[in-house]
Structure 1
Amino acid sequence: MGHGTGGGHRRKWTRPLVVSLAVALGFAGLDVVAGAAPNRTERAVSSSSPVTDVVASVVSVSAPLPPGAKSHPPECDRLSYLRYRAADGPADSVDADRILVAQPGIFEGASAFESVARNTVSAAAGKGHHIEFWALDRRSNCLEDHTGTQAALRARDLDIATDYYFHGGTADGRRFAGFADGARTAWLGDVRLTQTLRDQYDLLRRELPDQRMRQRKVLCGGHSLGGFLTGYFANWDFDGNRATTDDTGFNQCAGWFALDTVIRAGSPNPFPGAPTPEIPPLLAEPVAAATGALTGVYPVLQLPAVINPETTNLLAMAGLAARLDPTGVNDIVERLPRSLNFDATLRALLSKDAAMAATGTPDIRTLYATNDAVVGALLDDNSQPLGFLQTSVGFIGQGPVQDKTFPLPGDVVRAVPALGAAFGDDRKAAPTSYGDPRVVYTWADYDAMAANEYTDPSEEVTSIRQLVRSLTEPPLDFTEWYFPTAITVDLAQPTAPSIARHHIYRDGAARRPVLTVQGVSGTNTGLEGSGIPGDVPIRLHGYNHLDVLTAAQQQNNGRPEQVSALLADFAIRTP
């Protein structure tokens, strides 16, 4: 079942048959139990992906939080990941040639890796190698409720989801309990860096019990924040004892991969070009105490608008509308509640200038746009103002546009590297027509758009069709509702007592080969290097922060997608 225990010939034959039937019949909820360990489940994920030589499943394993953990739901005593493998490859992970294990970025769930995972496994299979890709889901994502989205997708009825999340409706016999806060999230104050790294370590040990096999077959990495988590993982000593090394992070992995990030213990530097500060040992204990108090009060990282559980789920809702009816007009916008949270979010993300953001005039809800165009406006690099949410997904298909100057004019952003990292340096466009039903904005996909003054096909790499599928179809989310504040706080304090006990090595990552792939635009601008000898980042034209995960299998230049090709080659060639 992919966890390295015995089972003999019966398991080898039974499981592929069950999985094949599940995929063929679309039974996404089918538990695959042949040969499974008592505390492990795996179920096939049905998919409409055009990459048909790869199959996926969602795996969940028992991993209770430590004794004394604050009250939490029982489902949070489990760890989950999306497992991708070649359709004609071995059923058991222990028989795969290599396994890539990926840590997600901030506000990111496992299905953000959907495209790059499928493309990578397919690229390796095309060269005669059967590899797997495991997209990890953070423990905190156990609090998410995707019942409404999944039920609406099965019934092809958007109202099921919007009624469930916004209007007290039911789906699959359940009623939405609301977005968690207060006492329901207090336990996340203790889900710190140490627990996050322990989760990955425990998952690897449960799925692949042979440490020598892990060291030989597993490649560890991540996207964005996931690169810094992997940097710590490489240096980590899980029992805090230098005399034993089988439990060190660098002895769990054969190599490292960084996707629009670097493999380095530390935190992302908000000021490109400047050295990353480190807390002096003398201040370690008082800083640790202060940050512990902070994360106790604010266990989940969120803002009043744009970044909070309700608005993070908005991306899935917009993707669902576009998945069900790409050319339908304003389906999700018409169903959004009139609330301060949603109104502020729409104004912050989609206002054409400061006056519109401040006054709400014209009202963004009066824009006539197809469901595809709404997703494009929310995530495309020529519209989305935040660099970490940008992808190159095409351009407006029809409708008049003008330069978008909110939150800052493009020439100001491009003149200051730190601003380019925060907001992306691509020229932004905004609609000019609001409230006129005769002007409906459409969306041209990455491979169907014409060159214009804002972009051209060589800079567009992600298919909106596959992006909306990734936002809605997999059972684990693309976006993360509840990101533990403590993780980002801990990244910057390696001398804190609880971290220093395990962060023993400083050369763990340098002991293994590394592949670093970055886009040319967005949050990686000015990113400090890993410091690992021989690690020279490969910069990809047209790719933004999310594109390294979402880019289409076939690119506009007729060549295969570059990130997955590089990952597949790295997996095959790493000694």
Structure 2
Amino acid sequence: MNTSRSRGRTWRGAALAVLLTTGALTAAAPDAQGDGARTETPVTSTHPADGVTESVVRVKLPLPRSFGDRPAACDQLSYLRYRSADGPAASADADRILVAQPGILEGAGAFDSVARGTVAKAAAQGRHIEFWALDRRSNCLEDRTGIASGDQHTAVDYYYRAKQVDGRVFGGFVGDNRLGWMAKLGIEQTVRDEYDLLVHELPDQGLRRNKVLCGGHSLGGVVTGYFAAADFDGDPTTLADAGQNQCAGYFALDTTISTSLADLSGSLPDDTDLPDIGLGYAAVQAGLDTGVLPRSLSAPVLLNPETMTLLAIAGLGAVRDADGEADLPAYLPSGINIEATNRFLFSKDAATFLTGSPGVKDFRLTNATVLGALMDDNSVPLAFLQSSVGFFDGGPVTDKSFPAANGGTQPTRLFGVGYKAIPAQPHGPLYTWRDYDRVGDADDPGYRSADGTPFTDAGKEVTDLQELARSLAEQPLDFTEQYFPTKLVTDIQLATSPQVRKLVVHPTGLTANPTLTVLAGDGLLAGRIPADLHPVVAAGYQHLDVLTAAPEQNNGLPEPVSGALSSFARTPR
């Protein structure tokens, strides 16, 4: 390995993470011992009956006083708890408990489909397991009031026009000047949060050791790696508190259990030609503390709270009236972030992006088509946001050659592997959405790129758009993470620094327990799948599909991810 080149990439990645980023506060809380106040609230969903009960759990576990002022909600940890309706009410009595860390810019709601599928498959085999989808602490800043209204127009009015919902007015998207407490929210606190939550919910260490399976999706695999190697009592000679001894096994969903970002090259554009700025850990931390470096990752295009909220709003439209003609593009207020996002996602080439014509408002689209255009791997040019939910229908399409041309060689996995398409006829037909299980049917037009390559086929479509819409619009904990802590990425990118290296107290913890690795065939590791991990490979899947895939696939078989997880949960220690 070329060490200098690797180090240069690390610093360039840190630089880009910085360049990508552009509640009422309580008094600082006492040092985190927490009163452990706990609430559990049932979640109602339009998901078809599957024998799975869902609830949202919130536990008060305050941050240390050193974090400073923060919203009161940020002194609690939250997760979605999925369990068999016929199973035991107490988590400690379950056969196994899978605890999942989300990926970058991802929240607990993203696990809805795979969590339900895993619990249901285990129940069908006579076992009662639970799936806990964790929210990282920074998700506390999100306000779901507008989405919870269930109406697109109400949600838009709430978030963008300062109109009330149930007597509440949106406090605005949180600026970096109010995120000083997040300057310390890195990998150390993230794994501490998981440990404290597990200890609170399952106080018996022996039970955790035998029943809990620790894992995650994307960046969640790296977080799990640090958790497995961590020591939580400050004494490395006492092992009951070691991360590896809180888990009976590990699971990795389109990721690996490691302490490196190397396997996630498509989750952030970290392989660039940016100059090596040479920042060390202390300089980065000083920049975060002073606000010279932004405390939350965002960008003017899609990756910021204002525009990520649009994903859930689009999900509302698809849930309520999938085939109805959308008015969302026209109803949204104008603004730099929204306009830049619309142009980035709905421009066929650079000229269209620069002029803004034709724009998304010039096309007739159903509500389902709007969501598909925002999330499908043949439309959205960001690999870590891609799922395979079908394809455009109802009118002619053309190649989307912006920001990358179809069929070209990409230096990174940032844009994914699928050819991108876009409606070709403004002011024309109503573009509908062909769902995943209708691709390849007799009435499928079989759209092709200009070079003759089919844009998609039945084997590459795996996620039901309605299920994805429900995960986006109906969950009390968000599908996305609108305020992703910059420090969580820079800590891991600076893994060789003494301040981060010291967190890996028990490096053998990464391999101390059995590991299940499930990879998307067309995901972040496509073309370089590590055979030594003996992974389950979901053919045709994109990065998000390992979480969102429909129970029945186009080949007539059940989706493999939840099957692999439920089987792994059955394996004796």
TM score, norm. by length of structure 1 = 0.87
| Alpha-carbon distance in structure 2 between the residues aligned to 1:220 and 1:352 | 42
Distance of 1:340 and 1:494 partners within structure 2: 36
Q: Runs of 5+ in structure 1 lacking a partner?
A: 1-36, 278-284
Q: Distance in 2 between matches of 1:490 and 1:170?
A: 39
Match 2:253 to one of 259, 265, 275: 259
AA aligned opposite 1:86:
S
**SS class of match (1:435):** coil
- Structure 1 position 290 matched with structure 2 position 283: yes
Task: Tell me if the contact between 1:524 and 1:545 (Cα under 8 Å) persists in the aligned partners.
Answer: no
Deviation digits for residues 29-71 of structure 1, max 9, x if unmatched?
xxxxxxxx96000000011112421010000001100122220
1:32-431 matches, cutoff 5 A: 39-151=37-149, 153=150, 157-268=151-262, 287-296=280-289, 297=291, 298-412=294-408, 415-416=409-410, 418-419=411-412, 421-431=413-423
Most deviating of 459-468 and 519-528 = 519-528
**What SS does the aligned partner of 1:204 have?**
helix
Secondary structure in 1 matching 2:122: helix
Q: Which has the higher mean CA deviation after the structures are superposed, 250-259 or 516-525? A: 516-525
What's the secondary structure of 2:569's corresponding residue? helix
Stretch moving more, 359-368 or 311-320: 359-368
CA distance in 2, matches of 1:259, 1:325: 32
Shift of 1:528: 7.3
CA contact (8 A) 1:240 1:502 kept: no
Question: Is 1:518–1:540's contact at 8 Å kept on the other side of the alignment?
Answer: yes
Instruction: Determine helix, strand or coil for the equivalent of 1:342.
Output: helix
2:282 maps to a residue whose letter is A
Deviations 1:149-184 (A, max 9, x none): 102x1xxx3222111111111012100010001332
CA offsets per residue over residues 123-158 of structure 1, 9 Å max, x none?
Answer: 11111110000000010111100001102x1xxx32
Q: Are the structure 2 counterparts of residues 261 and 486 from structure 1 closer, same or farther at C-alpha, using a change threshold of 3 Å?
A: same
Distance 1:270 1:52 in 2: 33
C-alpha distance in 2 between matches for 1:528 and 1:492: 22
Q: Which amino acid aligns with 2:464?
A: S
Query: Retained in 2: the 8 A contact 1:422–1:522?
Result: no
Matched, 1:443 2:395: no
Cα drift, residue 211 of structure 1:
0.6
Distance 1:424 1:286, change over 3 A: closer
8 Å Cα contact 2:377/2:388 also seen in 1: yes
**What amino acid sits opposite 1:384 in the alignment?**
V
Q: Work out the percentage of aligned pairs sharing the same amino acid.
A: 50
What displacement does 1:574 show? 4.0
Contact kept? 1:149, 1:161, Cα under 8 Å: yes
Deviation per CA, 1:389-443: give whole Å up to 9, x if none.
Answer: 100001112111111111111211xx34x43x2111111111111123xx11000
Deviations 1:498-525 (A, max 9, x none): 4333311222121100011111113223
Tell me how far apart the structure 1 counterparts of residues 389 and 265 of structure 2 sit (CA, whole Å): 28
RMSD: 1.9
For the Cα contact (< 8 Å) 1:238–1:502, is it kept in 2? no
| Equivalent position of 1:469 in the other structure | 470
Task: Please name the residue that 2:13 is paired with.
Answer: none
From the superposition, tell whether residues 522 and 358 of structure 1 become closer, same or farther in structure 2 (CA, over 3 Å): farther
Deviates more, 1:94-103 or 1:442-451: 442-451
Query: Does the aligned pair in 1 maintain the 2:185–2:485 contact within 8 Å?
Result: yes
**Alpha carbons 1:329, 1:370 under 8 Å: kept:** yes
Amino acid aligned to 1:216 = N
Does the aligned pair in 1 maintain the 2:111–2:547 contact within 8 Å? yes
Distance 2:471 2:285 in 1: 35
Q: Distance in 1 between matches of 2:550 and 2:325?
A: 25
Matched AA of 1:427:
Y
Aligned amino acid, residue 533 of structure 2: D
8 Å CA contact 2:205, 2:246 repeated in 1: yes
Distance 1:136 1:102 in 2: 6
- The CA deviation string for residues 199-238 of structure 1, in whole angstroms up to 9 with x for no partner, is 0000000000011110100000000000111111111112
Residues 1:271 and 1:55: Cα distance change in structure 2 (over 3 Å): closer
Between the aligned partners of 1:267 and 1:75, the Cα distance in structure 2 is: 30
Match of 1:566 among 559, 564, 567: 564
Point out the more displaced range, 385-394 or 500-509: 500-509
Ranges in structure 2 where 5+ consecutive residues have no aligned partner: 1-34, 272-277, 447-453
Summarize the Cα distance change of 1:295–1:536 in structure 2 as closer, same or farther, 3 Å threshold.
Answer: farther
The CA distance in 1 between the partners of 2:319 and 2:264, in whole Å, is 35
Structure 2 counterpart SS, 1:524: coil
- Is this contact kept in 2: 1:382–1:428, CA < 8 A? yes
Q: State the secondary structure of the residue aligned to 1:175.
A: coil
Change (3 A) 1:470 1:163: same
Distance (whole Å) between structure 1 residues aligned to residue 482 and residue 37 of structure 2? 26
2:489: which partner in 1? 488
Q: Which amino acid aligns with 1:499?
A: V
The 2-side partners of 1:365 and 1:391 are apart by 24
Preserved CA contact (<8 Å) 1:86 1:122 = yes
**Alpha-carbon separation, structure 2, partners of 1:304 and 1:570:** 41
SS in 1 for 2:518: strand
Opposite residue 178 of structure 1, the aligned amino acid is: G
Change in CA separation of 1:431 and 1:375 when aligned onto 2, cut-off 3 Å: same
1-side partners of 2:263 and 2:125: how far apart?
38
1:67 & 1:444 partners in 2: Cα distance?
52
Q: Secondary structure at the residue paired with 1:129?
A: coil
Give the Cα separation in 2 of the matches to 1:523 and 1:498: 28
Following TM superposition, the consecutive aligned residue runs of length 4 or more in structure 1 with deviations greater than 4 angstroms are 269-272, 526-529
Matching residue of 1:544: 542
The residue type equivalent to 1:213 in the other structure is L
Count the aligned residue pairs.
516
